[in-house]
Structure 1
């Protein structure tokens, strides 16, 4: 998806940080690449990212971190009028139960909003969490203008903590990065290990990403990365 969007670009991507020489996979400065430490993916849940056009090329995107941690993960560029056929086929997969992750206050039909997660019956299906990956304004537009998602239940997240995401400034200080949202969702649905691994992997990404930003005072000993390495060793 990244390569296709880059090939279709009509002008160079010159956003802030564009001069940093980055690893193509993790999008972190090459000298701080974290690819060799990627966690072993889990098969407990499935994830689909619908990614806004503006988000695909951003190195600070955290959606890719979710896909690092799940075995069954998908990412599709969002299109209002021409949805990806593979995505539509996935939504019809009878082994999966699509669940859209979106705030309840912006859902007009409250019947779609899931009650207490513990009371949700998946009837033997694996949950397919659908995350709308973009700015808050983009995500609201994606939710309103995706008729192929209209029939699916919605899981609303009410975070109690302010976001740890430092790479970008959100419209509201309590807005979470996509990876943070996914970690909370995993926890709510009983996938505690998934939640923990993703949360720690997000911390590694955030720490490593910030090392190339000269206006921030960074800890070059990389405590988040060392903590993650120790965590994985203890598991094995």
Structure 2
């Protein structure tokens, strides 16, 4: 269940957190009709605030791919080309349309999310023409992130787990995906506790 990292602290293999801060008991096991594919920039893999990993761990119908550039021989590349699926890329921009709950399309639905800073996410998009060819969808304006220890690069910016939960809530309004945010909230609270109130208030309180 555990292994030792370079600092020799016991480490949880499942959530990749120190055992003393393991989040596994808080991670739900939820089903969804929509398949979520999260493509994560390799530099985010060991980030202590890795919300993409929490999102995928909490969903049965989700997949995490760590890559900057997709191989044309990979299973994921083939999935993205499969016309039997309605596959969309969740990415804001002038070419994006508003994400809708029930489009007139009977195909199974796949939603692709890019995980990383905006610069890294744009790089993944730039390096992969297959992603550029996907229809782009965006979340509604006016959303606010709970990510209190990272300053948003732009208004309405959400963490990957928040974006995924919001998107699934729109596509499948009859289901409740809010439990996915429970380990996310615990992660944020743990980081705030570790940094101390003084540092949090100085660096982040004004942005809350």
**TM-score normalised to structure 2 length:** 0.77
Provide the residue aligned with 1:114 in structure 2. Answer: 97
The separation in 1 between residues aligned to 2:73 and 2:150, in whole angstroms, is 29
The separation in 2 between residues aligned to 1:146 and 1:188, in whole angstroms, is 27
The separation in 1 between residues aligned to 2:48 and 2:72, in whole angstroms, is 24
The 8 Å contact of residues 43 and 71 in structure 1, kept in 2 or not, is answered as: yes
Provide the residue aligned with 1:132 in structure 2. Answer: 114
The 8 Å contact of residues 41 and 70 in structure 1, kept in 2 or not, is answered as: yes
Q: Which ranges of structure 1 fall in alignment gaps of 5 or more residues?
A: 1-11, 218-236
- 1:123-163 deviations in whole A, cap 9, x for unaligned? 1x222110000101111222233101233211112342432
Shift of 1:75: 1.5
Instruction: Describe how 1:172-211 pairs up with structure 2 within 5 A.
Output: 172=154, 174-211=156-193
The separation in 2 between residues aligned to 1:117 and 1:81, in whole angstroms, is 27
Aligned length: 194
**TM-score normalised to structure 1 length:** 0.69
Shift of 1:24: 3.2
Provide the residue aligned with 1:149 in structure 2. Answer: 131
Shift of 1:76: 1.5
- Are 2:6 and 1:24 equivalent residues in the alignment? no
The separation in 1 between residues aligned to 2:40 and 2:99, in whole angstroms, is 28
The 8 Å contact of residues 102 and 171 in structure 2, kept in 1 or not, is answered as: no
Provide the residue aligned with 2:205 in structure 1. Answer: none
Provide the residue aligned with 1:36 in structure 2. Answer: 25
* Distance 1:74-1:119 versus aligned 2 partners, 3 A rule: closer
SS in structure 1 of the partner of residue 57 of structure 2: helix
The 8 Å contact of residues 44 and 191 in structure 1, kept in 2 or not, is answered as: no
* Distance 1:59-1:36 versus aligned 2 partners, 3 A rule: same
Provide the residue aligned with 1:54 in structure 2. Answer: 43
Provide the residue aligned with 2:63 in structure 1. Answer: 74
Q: Which ranges of structure 2 fall in alignment gaps of 5 or more residues?
A: 199-208
The separation in 2 between residues aligned to 1:38 and 1:139, in whole angstroms, is 25
Please report the RMSD computed on the Cα atoms of aligned residues, expressed in angstroms: 2.9
